[in-house]
Chain A
Amino acid sequence: MIDVKNLVRSFKDGPIETRVLKGIDLSIGNGEFIAIMGRSGAGKSTFLYQISLLDEPTSGEIHINGKETHLMSEREKMLFRLAEFGYVFQDYALLPELTALENVALPLLMQGLSRAAAEEKAVVALTRVGLGKRLKNLPSQLSGGEQQRVSISRAIAHAPDILFADEPTANLDKESSATVMQIFKELHESGQTIIMVTHEEEFSKFAERVVKLDDGKIISDERQAPQLSFAQGVS
């Protein structure tokens, strides 16, 4: 599904060039749940931004579903992201003046669905994460955990091929984090491809594959039996 070849990303600040990703090769198959781990500054978020087409690599190739995304125009990338990807950000990234329902319905509207159809799908997605009764609430009227669940609903409402999550539990308490990870686990069980960046070991246990980065390079890529529930093995 995703093939990354010799991916390099460097940033220039005047004459100084900093290489954050130093030639990464990685293949990710359909339906995988991958945790990308590493210490702060290892390049894990930068890697996520490259493969989720939010950023432009300095060099290298990214093939997604057979498409050479590194050759796409900005508009093509935008349409690709809209159709194929779902995003869950660390700080939820909800629009404050839109209700939970409207936040989830917005990308569906952009896909050309009617308002009624978009809102119908949004209700289904919000109900799936246990927010069926908070449809009309604004983000400010929801807890952090609830906001992240709205964010997940927005990411999955249009049934994307790949769900990207950047530190989805970083701002949440333990209980909310558990709920979010439970949702991810259920999504994965239903066949959803999930690529999650996290620095927390306990949450990486939900993934079936853990890729560790250090200093812009992959230092390990291991498969594991995913943890079945939050209580299991979490200290």
Chain B
Amino acid sequence: MFSLLNIRVGFYLALRQLKRASLWTTGLIVFVMLLTFLNLVVVTGILVGLIEGINESYRTQYTGDVILSSLATKNYIEDTPSVIAFLKTLPQVAQMTNRYQTSGTIEANYWNRTSNEKPNATGAQVVGINPTSEDAFIGLSSHMLEGSYLSDDDYDQVLVGKYLLAKYAFGEQPGLTPLKNVEPGSKVRLTINGAVRDVTVKGVVGSKIDLLAASVFMPAGELRTIMERTDQNVGQIAIRLVPGADPDAFKQLLLDSGIGEKAKVQTFEDSIPNGVEDIKTTFAMLGNGFSSIGLVVAAITIFIVIFINAITRRKFIGILKGIGISGSAIEISYIFQSLFYAIIGSAIGLVVLYGVLVPAVAAHPIDFPFSDGILVAPIDGTMIRILLLVLTTIVAGYLPSRMIVRRNTLDSILGRN
């Protein structure tokens, strides 16, 4: 079938049919192919990007590239000062921030609560931070929904994550009873390991990361006082690496240096709960499912277009066969036409994807309630999808042309059924 002669004649026919086809028809088919291409790439890209957005938010707003945290058997990183001193000698480290962590409860409206009234209180993670270094590291001040950010010398002042407040929390969440009537300036009561401290809410943190949005932040010095800690051991050290440094290699370096005996060492990907990765896989599967439907729709569209084209040209196909043009050459001419539609549609799709959509979504992430979604479209995955589209289109173009070409030559010429 695919002899050089058939290909040459098929190409000759296809080129001229495309050149002299209606611009509107060609434009419409190419547009369908463009939409199919975008459907193939963008739907999966957004679904995966939604989870990638969460990952990226974790990295930029909490963990950095590598995070050290206390071992399961301890509440702090042992011998923190020597660990920090060691980290400062490493050229891969661009920035660090230290955090103290403990759990506690936060109660609102405690001053006018009657003795038999249920407290308006909720459990929360309390994080002690150095406001300046934390802001430099994760830009915490840029996530203030209300009020203002902490300064290093603030005392009895806290920042409260939005999920702890009734007006921002969405729906009931297990173990979380959002606080009512709390805003900047409100007094709340912190209870940590039995120690009680009445503090003022200075601001509300509005991140989409649970670790920020469901925590209470206060200056590290004050939290250490409440926790009655006299040592310098912290709960977490978040590390940002210099551009180009590999988090996995750096993690291995720390483990090789023995830090693994004092702290749990994780890259930002390690620190993300397993469920998030599972969701990412699920979303990718869903995206592929939606894309497959798109592919089938595109195949049917091309099939119908080529079928209608071939059936309306049935007489001419009969004449071509009658004057000695081989059926294979005629079929190949339709394959070339289908290829043209798929390649032009994909080429325009590539320009739209990498020239417009990816940069646009990167600059203005999609505002999902729990993530700033980005568009994930790795070039290798995109190329595989183009290949799929082209193969599907070839089959969808070939089948109807074969159906028509196989009909009796004279019946085709005379228009007999």
Contacts and interface: CB of A to CB of B under 8 A. Distances in A.
Interface string B14-26: 0011011100000
A87 B322 contact: yes
A82 B5 CA distance: 14
Contacts of B322: 54, 81, 87, 93
A97 B16 contact: yes
A82 B410 contact: no
Contact of A110 (B5, B16, B17, B410): B5
A165 B411 CA distance: 18
Contacts of B319: 89, 93, 95
A89 B320 CA distance: 12
Interface string B152-171: 00000000000000000000
A54 B409 contact: yes
B413 interface: yes
Contacts of B329: 110
B350 to A, nearest CB: 29
Contacts of A81: 322-324
Interface stretch (A101-109, A181-189, A210-218): A101-109
B208 interface: no
A55 interface: yes
B269 to A, nearest CB: 57
B16 A98 contact: yes
B16 A107 contact: no
A149 interface: no
B12 A87 contact: no
Contacts of B20: 96-97, 138
B326 interface: yes
A216 B355 CA distance: 70
B322 to A, nearest CB: 6
A86 to B, nearest CB: 8
Contacts of A71: none
Contacts of A96: 20, 316
Q: For chain A, which range describes its interface: under 10, 10 to 19, 20 to 34, or 35 or more residues?
A: 20 to 34
Contacts of A107: 323-325
A95 B12 CA distance: 13
Interface residues of B, number: 25
B410 A49 contact: yes
A49 B416 CA distance: 14
Given A78-B321, A79-B324, A97-B20, A54 B413 contact: yes
B8 interface: yes
Interface in B310-342: 315-316, 319-327, 329
Chain B contact surface mostly: helix
B320 A82 contact: no
Given A49-B410, A54-B409, A97-B20, A154 B12 contact: no
Nearest to A45: B414
B8 A109 contact: yes
B272 interface: no
A169 B16 CA distance: 29
Contacts of B8: 109
A112 interface: yes
A110 B20 CA distance: 21
Nearest to A82: B324
Contacts of B16: 97-98, 102
Contacts of A79: 324
Contacts of A106: 9, 12-13, 320, 323, 325
A4 interface: no
**Max count, chain A CB within 10 A of own CB: residue among B17, B20, B319, B322:** B322
B156 to A, nearest CB: 84
A59 to B, nearest CB: 17
A81 B413 CA distance: 15
A83 interface: yes
B413 A110 contact: no
A109 B12 contact: yes
Contacts of B21: 97
A101 B241 CA distance: 69
B409 A110 contact: no
Interface string A144-179: 000000000011000000000000000000000000
A111 B321 CA distance: 13
Interface in A8-60: 49, 54-55
A85 B323 CA distance: 8
Interface in A82-129: 82-83, 85, 87, 89, 93, 95-98, 102, 106-107, 109-112, 115
A144 to B, nearest CB: 17
Nearest to A11: B416
Interface string A201-224: 000000000000000000000000
A83 to B, nearest CB: 7
Nearest to A112: B5
B329 to A, nearest CB: 7
B5 A154 contact: no
A50 B20 CA distance: 35
A85 B13 CA distance: 21
Contacts of B5: 110, 112
A95 B314 CA distance: 11
A83 B323 CA distance: 9
Given A89-B413, A106-B12, A138-B20, 8 more contacts: A75-B326, A78-B326, A81-B323, A93-B413, A96-B316, A106-B320, A107-B323, A155-B323
18 contacts: A54-B409, A55-B410, A75-B326, A78-B321, A78-B327, A82-B323, A82-B325, A97-B16, A97-B19, A98-B16, A102-B12, A106-B12, A106-B323, A107-B323, A110-B325, A111-B324, A138-B20, A154-B323
> Which 5 A/B pairs are nearest by Cβ-Cβ distance?
A82-B324, A97-B20, A93-B319, A55-B410, A81-B324
